[in-house]
């Protein structure tokens, strides 16, 4: 049986992925809490956050790498 030995790059990539997932989950919880505290119902708050995820956040994900642009923040109107 062939064993896979992770390279240092693989380990760094996995660590970055885990850190990003962890931080992103916390940011999502804070954002949802902010929207809920703005007076929206749970369903409306979820849709508001989902729309942000599908539009503004997705555009940022697809934008050019290396520009060090900050992630957009949800704006409550």
CB neighbour list of residue 45: distance below 8 Å, 6 or more residues apart: 32, 35, 36, 38
For the segment 16-28, the average pLDDT, to the nearest whole number, is 90
Torsion 62-63-69-71 (CA) sign:
negative
Question: Could you tell me the pTM of the whole model?
Answer: 0.68
pLDDT score recorded for residue 2 = 59
With pLDDT > 70 as the criterion, what percentage of the chain qualifies? 92
Within its chain, how far is the Cα of 32 from the centroid?
12
pLDDT score recorded for residue 77 = 78
């Amino acid at each position: 049986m062939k064993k896979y030995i992770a390279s240092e790059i693989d380990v760094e990539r996995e660590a970055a992925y885990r850190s990003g997932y962890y931080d992103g989950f916390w940011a999502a919880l804070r954002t949802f809490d902010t929207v809920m505290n703005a007076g929206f119902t749970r369903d409306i708050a979820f849709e508001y956050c989902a729309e942000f995820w599908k539009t503004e956040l997705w555009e940022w994900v697809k934008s050019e790498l290396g520009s060090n642009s900050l992630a957009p923040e949800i704006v409550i109107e």
